[in-house]
Amino acid sequence: METPAPAQLLPKAELHLHIEGTLEPELILELAARNGIELPHPTLEELRAQYEFTDLQSFLDLYYANMAVLVAEADFADMTRAYLRRARESGVRHAEIMFDPQAHVARGIPLTTAVAGIASALAASEAEFGITTGLIAAFLRDQPEDDALDVLGQLLAMDAPIIGIGLDSAEVGNPPSKFIRLFDRAREAGLRLVAHAGEEGPPSYVWDTLDLLGVERIDHGIRCVEDSRLVQRLAAGQVPLTVCPLSNVRLRAVDTLAAHPLPQMLASGLNVSINSDDPAYFGGYARENFQAAAAEFSFDADTLEVLAGNSIRSSFATETRKAELLAELARWRAARG
Ligand code: ADE
Ligand code: ZN
């Protein structure tokens, strides 16, 4: 194993992470050079100047464009390993990682290339970084359901090492009702089910994600606070909501971090965790998201323990692994008096 994470770091699980969103600008340029790809913004300075977003779509345009540098299996493996190294430095002890298979297939990259590259880095993660992992195939909600069904069929046929499916990309105008057959098919195949909802979309999308798609976790879900009945439902069922504070600020889902509904969500008894979404684009990994929220809302050690505990309990890790990480978290708390 590389050097272990510093013991003073809050141990946590990362449940909402797009691996393509961990491509740092430096790695984008390195992979572009390696693969002979000409980028529209070929220097670090020009590339970095693109990282000002007005909404989700303005980010997605750059996020998909930058994926052009991912060509060979080794590119996907290098990206994944770079994330795991940073995750370890962030105190992440278990990571459930989404990837966007359709975004690669649409560029002519074989599914096997993307899957094998990511999976090879994940297979070594526990030994190399002390991080257990799971891989989630996220489907693009702005694409037709038949395309998603086709790619899911290919993933199942090749026995891809995925634990579940998710739903991401442009939310508004692409309601959960569009993907009922996809989620039914994944459920039949024994996969775990998560989906983005209530990031930019209305509370009705969160209701339908629960009722029509039957998901176990909601990614983001912050707009639930606009509907008190929905908050009651989510609290009663302790449905995990994977909140990403820095993402919400950078994509203008909230005006400022101070205006973020996270404290209100916690006070309502919701099962919230803190995650990083696309850390290379939004100014930080799990640690920075925790630090920013803790500083803004003056969270004490008890609240940080609740947030990290929620992430561990809401994960798809084995019961043994969850118990191990909860014990680690209890030691972290005890060391704080
Ligand atoms: N794909 C990558 N990041 C995303 C986000 N925050 N919302 C929806 N789709 C995404
Ligand atoms: Zn996301």
Q: For the chain, give every domain's residue range.
A: 7-336
| Cα 15 to ligand 1 centre (Å) | 13
For residue 243, report the distance from its CA to the centre of ligand 2, in Å.
Answer: 9
In this prediction, residue 84 carries a pLDDT of 98
Calpha distance 290→63 (Å, rounded): 23
Q: In the prediction, which pLDDT does 306 show?
A: 98
**What per-residue confidence (pLDDT) applies to 8?**
85
Cα separation values, 305 from 29, 95, 231, Å: 38, 18, 22
Ligand 1 is surrounded, with C-beta below 6 A, by 18, 21, 56, 63, 168-169, 196, 199, 247, 277-278
In angstroms, the CA 122 to CA 56 distance is 28
* CATH topology for the 7-336 domain: TIM Barrel (3.20.20)
Residue 6 has what pLDDT?
A: 62
Ligand 1, atom 1, residue with closest C-alpha: 169
For the chain, which ranges sit under pLDDT 50?
A: none
| pLDDT of res. 312 | 99
Q: How far apart are CA 167 and CA 300, in angstroms?
A: 33
Catalytic residue among 20, 96, 199, 305: 199
Q: Which of 189, 236, 195 is nearest to 214 (CA)?
A: 195
Instruction: Sort 185 into a burial class: Cβ within 10 Å, 0-12 / 13-18 / 19+.
Output: middle
- Is 145 known to be catalytic? no
For residue 285, the model assigns a pLDDT of 98
CA 20 to centroid of ligand 2, rounded, Å: 11
* Ligand at shortest distance from the CA of 139: 1
Alpha-carbon torsion angle 332, 333, 336, 337, nearest 10? -140
Predicted local confidence at residue 5, as pLDDT: 63
